[in-house]
Every structure is written in C-alpha cells, then in structure tokens.
Amino acid sequence: LAKTTQPISMDSYEGQEVNITCSHNNIATNDYITWYQQFPSQGPRFIIQGYKTKVTNEVASLFIPADRKSSTLSLPRVSLSDTAVYYCLVGISGSARQLTFGSGTQLTVLP
C-alpha cells in the first residue's frame, strides 16, 4: 500500500513561498504523484501532477527526486486565499484500489 505522510499543519505569511513535502516510500513504478487542495465543505481541487523531476503550472510547482520516494509541492507567494488543506495522492500500481488520501496538511496563511 502506497501510504503517504505529510506534516499535519503549516503556517506561513502572505507573499512567502510555501513548500509542503509528502513522503511515499512504497510508490509503485508507474504511478503519478498528484496534489489536491481542499477548502472547508468543498470537494478537493486538482492542483498538479507529476511523475519525475519538476513540473510547473500556473498555480504551483512539483519537485520529485530521482528515487520518487517523496515529493514537494511549492506554492509561490501565497495569499490568504491559499489557506486550505493540501493532500498528496499516490495510487498503487495498475488499479484504483486503495486510493486513499492521507490526512493532508492544513496550510494557514497569515496576514
């Protein structure tokens, strides 16, 4: 089972860069690493996905080392509206089975 481990919470200030790291030691060879953002009483929203090295989109960057046993979501210049829970998701090879989101990281952006 590809279990993920993330910090429970993080605080940051507006305008700072925030890095959230997720450990996934048992990741399967052919799985993507996917990150989601969730606001209270809403469904998670897809942020970014990657397989290896670095991926960047208009919202975030995702850094994945060569061994793929961890990944780091980077949010540039956060604002108050980035306060949310962030989940990393890694699936087990070949199946949607055991697709389980971890407890996530509560990011609080302070003014």
Partner 1 sequence: SQTIHQWPATLVQPVGSPLSLECTVEGTSNPNLYWYRQAAGRGLQLLFYSVGIGQISSEVPQNLSASRPQDRQFILSSKKLLLSDSGFYLCAWSVPGLAGGLFEPIISYEQYFGPGTRLTVT
The single residue among 5, 53, 57, 100 that binds partner 1, judged by CB under 8 A, is: 100
Give yes or no for a contact between 73 and 35, defined as CB atoms under 8 angstroms apart.
yes
Name the residue type at position 9: S
Q: Which of 45, 22, 24, 48 is nearest to 34 (CA)?
A: 48
Cβ-based nearer residue to partner 1, 28 or 72: 28
- Total residues contacting partner 1 by CB under 8 A comes to 28
Shortest Cβ 13–partner 1 spacing (Å): 25
Bridge pairing between strands 53-56 and 61-64: antiparallel
Shortest Cβ 61–partner 1 spacing (Å): 17
Cα four-point dihedral sign 52, 56, 57, 59: positive
- Contact letters (x/-) for partner 1, 13-52, by CB under 8 A? ---------------x-xxx-x------xxxxxx--x-x-
